[in-house]
Structure formats: C-alpha cells, structure tokens
Amino acid sequence: MNSLISWIHSSIIYGTVIMFGALGEIMTEKSGHLNLGVPGLMYLGGFAGFASAFVYERSTDNPNTLLLILIPLLCAFLAAMLGGLLYSFLTVTLRANQNVTGLALTSLGVGIGTFGSARLLSVTGSQSYSVASATSAVYTANINSVANLGAFGQIFLSYGFLTYAAVLLAVLLHLFLMHTRRGLNLRAVGENPGTADAAGINVTLYKYIATCFGGGICGIGGFYYIIEYSSGKWSSQNSLEAVGWLAVALVIFSTWKPKNAIWASYLFALLFWMATNLPTLTGIRIASSVTELLKMTPYIVTILVLIIASTRKKIENRGPASLGLSYFREER
C-alpha cells in the first residue's frame, strides 16, 4: 500500500514537471513552431530560478516569504522566455530551420546550466550540490504536512502550490485556446498562417508571443523540478534533460490539447516510474538492464498513440497543419 502511494506521489510531482514543459510546448506549437529546445529551456528556467533563490537566501538573514516566491519564479520565467525569444528571432524573423534551432537551444540551455552550476558549487565549496532550503520550504508547504490526512492527504494534498497551479494553468490555456478570440487567432496562425494573415492577424506578433510565453512556462517547469522534485537541491548531475524530451513527446500524446495534458502527464510519469516501483510493489526482482528498458514505456506509448491517431484520421486530433513551416507573406 505504502509503495503504491509513494509511486503515485512521486508520479504526480514528476508528472507536473512534464505538464509544465508540455503546456509550454503546446502553446509554442499552436503558433506553428516546433521548438525542440524544451530541455534547454527547462535548464535555463531551473538554473535561473534556483540561482536567484540561492543568492537571495544568502543575501539576507530573514528572507521575506513573498520575495522568496516571486524572485525565483520570475527569474525562471524570464530566463526561459529569453531562450524562447532567441528561438523566435531565429525561426520567425530569420526563418532558420526550426529543428536545428531547437536542438541548438537545448545544447545552449544545458551548457549554461552546467556552467552555472560549477560556479555555484565553487561558492558553497560543495562537491556535488548546493541547496536553497528556505525557498524549497515555502514552495513545498502543504496541508498534509500540517494535518496528517492519511492516504487521501498523501495522494492529493501533499504538494506545493505549483503542483495545483499547473492544473489550473492547463484549464486556463484550454479556455484561452477554445473560447477566446485571441485563442482562435493563435490556432489559425498555426494551422494556416497565410489565411490568418489575410484575415488581418499579425502573424509574426502571435508567433513571438506564443513562443516566448511557451518558453517561460517550460522554464517554470524546470524550476519546479529543482525546488519540489529535487527538494531545492541543484546538483551537477540531474535528469532535467530527460523530462524535457518526455514533455515534447507528451504534446503529441495529448493531441495538442492542454486539457489532455493534465491526465496524460500523470500517466506518463506513472509509466516512467513503473520500472522502479513495480518490482517493490509486486515483489518481482528484475535486472537493471530491464529497468532501463521499462523506462522506454512512455515513448512506446507515444508511438502507439501516434499510430492509433493516424488510423482514426480524425482531423481535429492532428497537430497544427503548418507546424514546422516558416511563413513569409510574399512567398507562395
């Protein structure tokens, strides 16, 4: 029972990281841009958020709770947004190849994160990690730790506020895309920029805003990973990059719909952690090589979903029709 709860618990946290990344990427892709820089953006956000919290904590003896929340959140968002801005400048304005630019952005983000972490570690003098404990405490504060509510509390109420914010964000994005004028315009930009343009929509502006905002959301995902999943520790070794790729796969899995991203990301995380949790749960021992194989499950499921989605031929479940194509009004 306990191992089941802990499996669910860790999956919800891990799933939330994926959800942030996927929501950010959905917004980007809705504008017709495939940004493969999600892992890099998460790195940028994670590092900027953590570093700013770390610096703030060290600069004062009794940190202000509100500032503890706002400073790292803003820094995470802004840093990743800058990454998104760079991406949109290259792909929207200069019309560079989106895949190459995205991959370069991943390398860049991971590089900056690694470089920065070396600087941080040299400040603390630690060999493997540095901590922002006060920030982590604020971010992971939850009802369940105050009043122990048993299994229910552990499964549903034992997370910091960002975990719930992710779900709220998904709902809001769904409402934005499906029920507002701007959301309709954004979808049109990703489907058919020529049509959107002829309808008087500022295609370039929409692409920039969607990509920058999407990048920022990915950054918050990275920060959430450090502060909640790693309990406020920035270590030189972390698996943020793997989560980033999971997020990219999840966009396809959720058929580009934010509301699907909610349950799909939890499911992804459950599948991802199946390898480590199933043996303890069932009492069957499996070789470590098999564990690694089992970690492929989310990707295999994504491939299956792609196959099923393509055979069903429901047009609404396809990605934006102009995904990956540059747009230039005078080109035809």
Partner 1 sequence: MLFYYAKTGEGMNNEIAVKLTGITKRFGTVTANSGVTMDVRRGEVLALLGENGSGKTTLMNMLSGIYFPDEGEIEINGKKASIRSPKDAFELGIGMIHQHFKLVDVFTAAENVVLGLPGGMLLNLREAKEKIRSICEKYGFETDPDKKVYSMSVSEKQTLEIIKVLYRGADILILDEPTAVLTPQETERLFSVIRNMRADGKSIIIITHKLHEVMEISDRVAILRRGEYITTLETKDADEKTLAEAMVGEKLALNIDRPQPKGVVKRLSVKDLSCVSADGVPTLSSVSFDAFGGEILGIAGISGCGQKELLESIAGLQKTEPGSSIIYSPDGGEDEELVGKSPREIRALGVALSFVPEDRLGMGLVGSMGMTDNMMLKSYGEGSPVFLHKKEPQDLAESVREDLGVVTPSLATPVRRLSGGNVQKVLVGREIAEAPSVLMTAYAVRGLDINTSYAIYDLLNEQKKKGVAVIYVGEDIDVLLELCDRILVLCGGRVSGIVDARSATKEEIGLYMTKVGGPNA
Task: List residues binding partner 1 (CB under 8 A).
Answer: 179-185, 187-188, 191-192, 194-202, 315-316, 318, 321, 329-330, 332
Determine, following the binding rule CB under 6 A, whether residue 332 of this chain makes contact with ligand ATP. Answer: yes
| Minimum CB–partner distance for residue 203 and ligand ATP (Å) | 16
Q: What is the secondary structure of 268-289 as a DSSP string?
A: HHHHHHHHHHHHHHH-----HH
By C-beta, is 316 or 331 nearer to ligand ATP?
331
Residue 61 or 331 having the CB closest to partner 1:
331
Stretch that binds ligand ATP, among 70-78, 182-190, 300-308, 324-332 (CB under 6 A): 324-332
Nearest approach in angstroms of CB 307 to partner 1 is 21
Alpha carbon separation from 214 to 42, 165, 218, 273, 294 (Å, rounded) = 11, 16, 6, 26, 30
Instruction: Report, in Å, the least distance between residue 325 CB and ligand ATP.
Output: 16
DSSP codes joined into one string, 83-151: HHHHHHIIIIIS---HHHHHHHHHHHHHHHHHHHHHHHHHHHT-SSEEE-HHHHHHHH--HHHHS--HH
In angstroms, give the least distance from the CB of 183 to partner 1. 7
Quick one: 330 exposed, middle or buried, by C-beta within 10 A (0-12, 13-18, 19+)?
Answer: exposed
Shortest approach of ligand ATP to residue 330 CB, angstroms?
5
Residue 26's nearest CA partner among 304, 250, 207, 273 is 250
Contact status: 330 vs ligand ATP (CB under 6 A): yes
Contact string (CB under 6 A) for ligand ATP, positions 272-311, x = contact: ----------------------------------------
Nearer to ligand ATP, 115 or 328 (CB): 328
Instruction: Decide whether 316 or 330 has the Cβ nearer to ligand ATP.
Output: 330
CA distance 237 to 221: 17
How many residues bind to ligand ATP according to rule CB under 6 A?
3
Q: How far is the CB of 253 from partner 1 (least distance, A)?
A: 19
184 binds, among ligand ATP, partner 1, none (CB under 5 to 8 A by kind): partner 1
Tokens of 233: 């520790």
Q: CA angle 169-106-277, nearest 5°?
A: 65
Helices 161-179 and 181-191 meet at what angle, rounded to 10?
80
| Footprint of ligand ATP (CB under 6 A) | 330-332
